[in-house]
């Protein structure tokens, strides 16, 4: 019985200690027109409502929600990207980095 309990506890610790595959980042202020242009260039889907505007891409040049940038007027934007990437611009956040 102790072995089963120990395995369950260990599995819980591993599950909680594993880093997330997605990361949230703060990006500079971006206007709706600037984000719309970057979104179109990245092949994403732009949306806008009363609370703000955003773009989602599959990080490979297609619309999806793997890479997301959301902005509120006159405030900094928030990006959610996959992995350990650290994009510094909206364009970098919406596209997959080139291999070195």
> Where do we find the tokens 């994009």?
87
- Segment among 3-7, 59-63, 89-93 with least mean pLDDT: 3-7
**Tokens matching residue 69:** 């940038």
Q: pLDDT for 35-75, tens place per residue?
A: 999 999 999 999 999 999 999 998 888 878 889 999 999 89
Return d(Cα 19, Cα 38) in angstroms, integer.
29
């Amino acid at each position: 019985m102790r072995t089963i309990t120990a395995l369950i506890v260990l599995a819980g610790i591993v599950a909680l200690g594993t880093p997330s595959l997605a990361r949230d980042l703060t990006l500079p202020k971006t206007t709706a027109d600037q984000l719309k242009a970057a979104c179109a260039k990245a092949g994403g889907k732009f949306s806008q409502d009363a609370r703000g505007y955003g773009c989602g891409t599959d990080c490979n040049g297609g619309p999806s929600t793997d890479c997301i940038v959301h902005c509120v007027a006159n405030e900094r934007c928030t990006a959610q990207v996959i992995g350990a990437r650290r994009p510094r611009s909206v364009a970098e956040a919406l596209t997959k980095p080139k291999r070195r």
